[in-house]
Amino acid sequence: MEEALVDWSRAQFALTAMYHWLFVPLTLGLSFIMAIMETIYVKTGNIKWKKTTQFWMTLFGINFAIGVATGIILEFEFGTNWSNYSWFVGDIFGAPLAIEGIMAFFLESAFLAVMFFGWQKVTKKFHLTATWLVALGANLSALWILVANGWMQNPVGMHFNPETARNEMGNFWDVLLNPTAVDKFLHTVSSGYVIGALFVVGVSSWYILKNRHIRFAKRSMVVGAVFGVISSLFIVLTGDSSGHHVAQTQPMKLAAMEGLYEGQEGAGLVAIGVLNPEKEVDNDKDPFYFKVKMPKLLSLLAERDADAFVPGMEDLVYGNTQQGILSTPKKMEKGDRALTALKKYNEAEEAGKDSLASAHLETFRANYPFMGYGYFDQPQETVPPVGLTFYSFHVMVILGFLFVLLFLLVIWFNLKDTILQKRYLLVAATWAIPLGYLASMLGWVVSEVGRQPWTIQDLLPVGVSTSHISASHVQLTFWLFAAIFTILLIAEISIMVRQIKIGPK
């Protein structure tokens, strides 16, 4: 496939997915924070909590309205730019995405109306139920698309039909409960909760800095910070589980995340480090200019054993017989066998040569798990961009820990009732809002850049997934999307900022 076409298709998908993701996490996080605030109102009957809930609900509404349907564009791209891939994934995406559509429509749209229009129309408890259901609906609709993404990272629960060239769902529960999908869902939604918390704490801090709505701000800030701490602990747990599963299913990604070229027993986790950009899998240069490692932690994360062996990129490319790791050239041979057998199977079927067809089918089935490797010319092509993956991962983790510290300090100084004097903390909390988005985006970069060159792990590389269309067409729509999404983002920020400046009633 033409390189420019693949690159533009990839860039366009990255652009639209990342812009879409600018709107989603606040919806996920803020919806729960509003529901908690409204629960306090219903429990205490204190009208101030009602006003607090209504203010954050307005900001939620702005974000929801501007972000709604931005994900649909990704589905347009599947049909136009990624038709090979779309056909290949077959029914696997159909069921989860259909459920997402139904769930998002019925749960969110029905109860969203009650949430916004129903304050004077329904009972307090019914309204509260609607608010919780909106939060639940938003999070559940994220579940299905993340299940689909989890399947791409670790394809399970399906069998490939060589006559139709489609994957067919073998077991729905295997797809839904795929450990990669479960981790991905929990880790991703909890990053949304942290963004929601940072948003509430940051906006509240801004009010205090401006000496406006002080009581409202302190009230909101405490809820946001407590929710943020709980979500951050959850994100650490799900991140740990995610790292463990990545080690099992995508060891190359884990090696890139850690800049680990040579496998080690009792491998340490890099806390901070500067990579040597000249290091490649096929040279002997030192991978790092500088690094600080936490001993044995990577082995513990990957294998739940502090002394276990963690393969590096060189082990995965060139193989390691001692550790039972198959080399990429061997996988390429198997992949080549699968692809050749697929072609011959269909030719034999067409010619009515049944016994020959079943022999080719057997060869195909035996080598199918390595099919994607058959498309590569060089084993080094299976190494993802190491620098981008490594730095994205480490900056994300560092920011995540800084957010925990921020939330804890906010709670502590609120408890001591000295938060109004901590201007440095209030300024930091305000600036933490964009940093939260940055951390979340970097998480996606780790997830998606780290699994290159695959669209579907081990089965289909990106270069084979694209449609035969002109690169200039993709380039044109890339810039169209860039313009539309930028306008939407400017609209979101300007309406949001205006509403924040107006403040709570």
Partner 1 sequence: MNFFKRVWNLYYEGFKNMGPVGKKLWLIILIKLFIMFAILRLFFFPDILEENFSSDKERSDHIINEISKP
Whole-angstrom CA distances from 383 to 227, 376, 443, 462 are: 38, 11, 19, 13
CA atoms within 13 A on the CB side of 212: 11
DSSP structure string for 446-488? HHHHTTTTEEETTTEEHHHHS-S--HHHHHHHHHHHHHHHHHH
Cβ(175)–Cβ(157) below 8 Å:
yes
Closest distance of CB 276 from partner 1, Å: 37
Between 36 and 341, name the residue whose CB sits nearer to partner 1.
341
Between 87 and 234, name the residue whose CB sits nearer to partner 1.
87
Q: Is the peptide bond before 453 cis (omega within 30 degrees of 0)?
A: yes
Closest distance of CB 85 from partner 1, Å: 10
Between 28 and 115, name the residue whose CB sits nearer to partner 1.
115
Between 31 and 84, name the residue whose CB sits nearer to partner 1.
84
Measured between alpha carbons, how far is 361 from 346 in angstroms, rounded to an integer?
9
Q: Torsions phi, psi of 123, nearest 5?
A: -70, 160
DSSP structure string for 126-189? HHHHHHHHHHHHHHHHHHHHHHHHHHHHS--SEEEETTTTEEEES-HHHHHT-HHHHHHHHHHH
Structure tokens at 128: 């509260």
Measured between alpha carbons, how far is 264 from 161 in angstroms, rounded to an integer?
39
- Strand segments, DSSP code E, in 412-456 are 454-456
Closest distance of CB 289 from partner 1, Å: 42
Closest distance of CB 4 from partner 1, Å: 18
The contact set with partner 1 (CB under 8 A) reads 58, 61-62, 65-66, 68-70, 72-73, 76-77, 79-80, 83-84, 86-88, 113-114, 116-118, 121-122, 162-166, 336, 339-340, 342-343, 346, 374, 460, 464, 467, 469, 473, 476-477, 480, 484, 488, 491, 495, 499
Between 118 and 387, name the residue whose CB sits nearer to partner 1.
118
Closest distance of CB 318 from partner 1, Å: 24
Between 121 and 124, name the residue whose CB sits nearer to partner 1.
121
Cβ(324)–Cβ(301) below 8 Å:
no
Between 427 and 490, name the residue whose CB sits nearer to partner 1.
490
Question: Which residues are CB-neighbours of 381 under 8 A, at least 6 positions away?
Answer: 453
Q: Torsions phi, psi of 49, nearest 5?
A: -70, -30
Burial degree of 14 (CB within 10 A; 0-12, 13-18, 19+) = middle
| H/E run at residue 230 | helix 214-249
Closest distance of CB 438 from partner 1, Å: 25
According to DSSP, residue 385 is labeled -
Closest distance of CB 491 from partner 1, Å: 6
Closest distance of CB 346 from partner 1, Å: 5
Between 61 and 503, name the residue whose CB sits nearer to partner 1.
61
Closest distance of CB 360 from partner 1, Å: 11
Between 113 and 366, name the residue whose CB sits nearer to partner 1.
113
According to DSSP, residue 379 is labeled G
Closest distance of CB 47 from partner 1, Å: 20
Between 340 and 380, name the residue whose CB sits nearer to partner 1.
340
